[in-house]
Amino acid sequence: MHEAPLPDAAQPQARPLRTGIVAVQAVHFGVTILAGAFLLFQIQPLIARLIMPWFGGSAAVWTTCMLFFQVTLLAGYAYAHWLARLAGTRQAAIHLALLTASLLCLPVLPSTWWKPAGPDDPMLRIAGLLAATVGLPYFLLASTSPLLQSWYSRTRRGAIPYRFFALSNAGSMAGLLSYPVLVEPNLSTREQAWSWSIAYAGFAVTCGAMAWRARGGSTVGQSLPAFAGPAPPARERLLWLALAACASALLLGVTAHLTQNVAAAPFLWVLPLALYLLSFILCFDGDRWYRRGVFLPLGVLALPAMACAIAFHVWWLHTIRATVALFGAATFVVFMVCHGELARRRPDAAHLTGFYLMVSAGGALGGVLIGLAAPQLFNALYDLPLLIGLIALLFCALLWLEQRRVFGAALAGALTLGLWGFLALDLWASFAHQRLLARNFYGALAVQDKETHTALGPVRILRHGVINHGAQFLLPQNRRLPTTYFGESSGVGLALRTVQKRGPMHVGVIGLGTGTLLAYARPQDSYRVYEINPLVLQIAHTQFSFLDDCPAPHQVVLGDARLSLEREPPQQFDLLVLDAFSGDAIPVHLLTREAFRLYWQHLKPDGVLAVHVSNSYLRLWPVVAQASAETGKTARLVHDIHDDKDRASSTSDWVLVTSSPGFFASEGLERAQEIETLPGLRTWTDDYSNLYRILR
């Protein structure tokens, strides 16, 4: 049945009206997609921030969260792909039911039931916690962009909606970047969770209304069917998968490299992800941004540049800005190639949900390979070098598939073989001479023996990435010499010698390392050590002898120190040492007001708290001083400048906290400095912290 033509006088009025309706509908779709993407990426750092204190504050918690989010994103895209093939009324009914059910998950505050009770690998517990707390809302947010694009295309004559994908990634970037800049510094974690939950409830109502309106396809243009071209061949789908997987794996690989070998600071988690999203925005906004003739050659240069930065990391670490700039620029170029090639190969609108499904499957595959498989398969950080080599092979395949030129393919193959050879030689040079390589959820550890060219003899060193976590001389007469950050002139060394003068000591240590602090132990003392990583305890027993040579009664408690202390009766420590930092990573939950109150429950009234605050990037001593002042204690900074590689000693900063009269008048401690307050610094609590405020 044909629609009767409008009178001529009515047509000028009908066309603007019809155009206005279309524009309003497009705005509604765009705003909903934008809001969904914003909330999708706001919840990622928010929930990670909430649960990190329960799992030791490790950067691996963020990697595990990223893996969960990528897999759930794949599930959301698969759901959108399946739902788009149902009748409009069924689509609306199912989606409305799930949106309603998701409101029962609010607010997104995790139950304390999920707190770990032991030292087991926490990956499955984290995944279960995330699924129970944010699983369904995140799943529905993940499905929003492809599902609404499908509805838009179906109701608008098969219109190509890929710019909505760019808009979705813009919303994602806004959500990601606004969290550390606007949300975290100004709201407590509980306020953040409630604010997000209220915003999600509003989104669910809006999205539900759109689903109901779209159920019958009654919008303008529904009478003209969408054009359905031929289904993409299997080879093309596999290429979508490979491109997305390489970009996703590179995202996690570079993030892990920067946080473990440069600094475990939150802005280095955000930077690679922001560049990843930016490349999506540019590539799917239009064809003008990705120029193949520009970015593919740059990608060929970016891969060996990253390989060289990895190989010569010792030199690069002296210039952190250059390191971050190089990896940022190189990864962005590779992201542009991967996502640009995806954009060039996008199918027509009839197959868009299948396209998004393969892209998300590739993202999840990359996340599983780096976040789940690599720690189980590899005993060291081989991930990024191997990944660089695989991406080089993918670029060769792109050149061959597009041009099929023998000379170009041969040249690219030769360059790739050269890159593989360089990476193999670097891996051999880095790891072949290590005494031990081991890896688990908490990171990669290496043990190496080195000569010192002094009468003290060779030394054995434990490293986490490039960070020294302890050392011991191997000659029997020197094995009980305190080394690295724990020498006799360090703050903790002075504190131990001072407290020893009172008589037998009961000492608590948070963070085992090699067990160096037990070198100070006397038979009349007792030590209780808290360590979250069972691999560290194993290495301390098998590769070092501080524990086994200790003349004092001692015990090692496995698990997060704060959770362990919360479960224990008061220990009545004379001295409690806090040295639980993995390199420059900051376990924020150990530096909060609530944590300091817990420490003083376990210390004697005249006890001493020694906090290791050596850090290349953050000024931690004002945080410690402020929390100490609230408990009525005096805090002083001891800066030790003794740095002698042959004696295995390092410069260190320790904050000593006590209310003991005359403590800072003891020998050596008179040089302890008063700590100036940092203007505008708020006391850290379990609900609030701000690392950016204390950046050097």
The answer to whether residues 347 and 145 touch, using CB atoms and an 8 Å cutoff, is no
Same domain, 202 and 250: no
Q: What pLDDT does residue 228 have? A: 55
Say how far apart CA 33 and CA 161 lie, in whole Å. Answer: 12
Say how far apart CA 205 and CA 83 lie, in whole Å. Answer: 19
Distance linking the first and last C-alpha atoms of the chain: 73
* Residues whose CB is less than 8 angstroms from the CB of residue 269 and which lie 6 or more positions away in sequence, other chains included: 45, 59, 62, 255, 259
Whether residue 583 has pLDDT greater than 60: no
Average pLDDT for the chain: 84
CA–CA distance from 569 to each of 334, 580, 598, 603, 606 (Å)?
A: 54, 21, 11, 11, 18
Say how far apart CA 25 and CA 462 lie, in whole Å. Answer: 61
Assess if residue 143 is contained within a domain: yes
* Strands of the 603-612 sheet, one edge to the other: 554-558, 526-531, 506-510, 573-578, 603-612, 652-658, 634-640, 673-674
Same domain, 208 and 269: no
What's the count of helices (H) and strands (E) in the chain, helices before strands? 20, 12
* Residues whose CB is less than 8 angstroms from the CB of residue 434 and which lie 6 or more positions away in sequence, other chains included: 380, 446, 447, 448
Helix (H) or strand (E) holding 422: helix 406-431
What does the pLDDT look like over 80-119, one tens digit per residue?
889 988 887 899 899 999 999 999 999 999 998 898 877 7
**Nearest to 56, CA basis, from 481, 522, 590, 620:** 590
Same domain, 212 and 245: no
Over residues 270-281, the mean pLDDT reads 88
**Nearest to 198, CA basis, from 662, 190, 225, 664:** 190
Total domains in the fold of the chain: 3
Residue 634: pLDDT band (50, 70, 90) is: very high
CATH number of residue 608's parent domain: 3.40.50.150
Say how far apart CA 596 and CA 590 lie, in whole Å. Answer: 8
CA–CA distance from 634 to each of 95, 369, 656 (Å)?
A: 58, 49, 8
The answer to whether residues 280 and 163 touch, using CB atoms and an 8 Å cutoff, is no
Assess if residue 493 is contained within a domain: yes
**Nearest to 203, CA basis, from 75, 27, 33, 26:** 33
CATH number of residue 213's parent domain: 1.20.1250
Over residues 620-631, the mean pLDDT reads 92
Phi and psi, residue 162, nearest 5°: -65, -20
Same domain, 190 and 269: no
Assess if residue 213 is contained within a domain: yes
Q: What pLDDT does residue 227 have? A: 47
Assess if residue 461 is contained within a domain: no
What does the pLDDT look like over 439-468, one tens digit per residue?
888 888 999 999 887 888 999 999 886 678
The answer to whether residues 207 and 139 touch, using CB atoms and an 8 Å cutoff, is no
Within 10 angstroms of residue 13's Cβ, the number of other Cβ atoms is 10
State the sign of the Cα–Cα–Cα–Cα dihedral 32, 38, 43, 46: negative
What does the pLDDT look like over 411-429, one tens digit per residue?
777 778 888 888 888 788 7
Over residues 26-48, the mean pLDDT reads 89
Whether residue 353 has pLDDT greater than 60: yes
Same domain, 144 and 37: yes
Same domain, 32 and 107: yes
Assess if residue 156 is contained within a domain: yes
Residue 402: pLDDT band (50, 70, 90) is: low
pTM reported for the whole predicted model: 0.80
**Which of the listed residues 219, 249, 284 is the one where a domain comes to its end?**
219
Exposed/middle/buried for residue 338 (C-beta within 10 Å: 0-12, 13-18, 19+): buried
State the sign of the Cα–Cα–Cα–Cα dihedral 535, 565, 681, 670: negative
Assess if residue 522 is contained within a domain: yes
What does the pLDDT look like over 529-548, one tens digit per residue?
999 889 999 999 999 999 99
Residue 326: pLDDT band (50, 70, 90) is: confident
Q: Tokens 């995944």 correspond to what residue?
A: 127
Assess if residue 452 is contained within a domain: no
Same domain, 412 and 493: no
Secondary structure percentages of the chain, helix, strand, coil, to 5: 60, 10, 30
Q: What pLDDT does residue 375 have? A: 84
Same domain, 556 and 658: yes
Q: Which domain holds residue 198?
A: 19-219
* Residues whose CB is less than 8 angstroms from the CB of residue 587 and which lie 6 or more positions away in sequence, other chains included: 53, 56, 57, 58, 580, 581
Q: Tokens 């061949």 correspond to what residue?
A: 233
Same domain, 163 and 236: no
**Which of the listed residues 161, 186, 219 is the one where a domain comes to its end?**
219
Q: How would you classify the pairing of strands 436-440 and 467-473? A: unpaired
What does the pLDDT look like over 39-85, one tens digit per residue?
999 998 899 888 887 887 666 787 788 889 989 988 998 898 899 88
Say how far apart CA 681 and CA 178 lie, in whole Å. Answer: 20
Cross-strand pairs, 685? 688
The answer to whether residues 124 and 68 touch, using CB atoms and an 8 Å cutoff, is no
Residue 490: pLDDT band (50, 70, 90) is: very high
DSSP string, 475-519: SGGGTT---BTTSTTSHHHHHHHHHHTTSS-EEEEE--TT-GGGG
Phi and psi, residue 165, nearest 5°: -65, -40
The answer to whether residues 122 and 560 touch, using CB atoms and an 8 Å cutoff, is no
Q: What pLDDT does residue 611 have? A: 96
Whether residue 261 has pLDDT greater than 70: no
Same domain, 160 and 236: no
- For residue 442, the 8-state DSSP code is T
At 610, is the secondary structure helix, strand, or coil?
strand
**Which of the listed residues 397, 432, 467 is the one where a domain comes to its end?**
432
Over residues 465-481, the mean pLDDT reads 88
Q: Which of 106-120, 463-477, 515-529, 680-694 has the highest mean pLDDT?
A: 515-529
Cis check for the bond before 107: say yes or no (omega within 30 of 0): yes
What does the pLDDT look like over 298-311, one tens digit per residue?
988 899 888 888 87
**Nearest to 251, CA basis, from 424, 122, 371, 73:** 371
Q: What pLDDT does residue 585 have? A: 58
Same domain, 484 and 622: yes
Whether residue 237 has pLDDT greater than 70: yes
Q: Which one has a higher pLDDT value, 493 or 677? A: 493
The answer to whether residues 464 and 445 touch, using CB atoms and an 8 Å cutoff, is yes
Residue 16: pLDDT band (50, 70, 90) is: low
Whether residue 481 has pLDDT greater than 50: yes
Q: What pLDDT does residue 543 have? A: 97
Assess if residue 443 is contained within a domain: no
The answer to whether residues 496 and 520 touch, using CB atoms and an 8 Å cutoff, is yes
Q: Which one has a higher pLDDT value, 326 or 199? A: 199
Same domain, 195 and 241: no
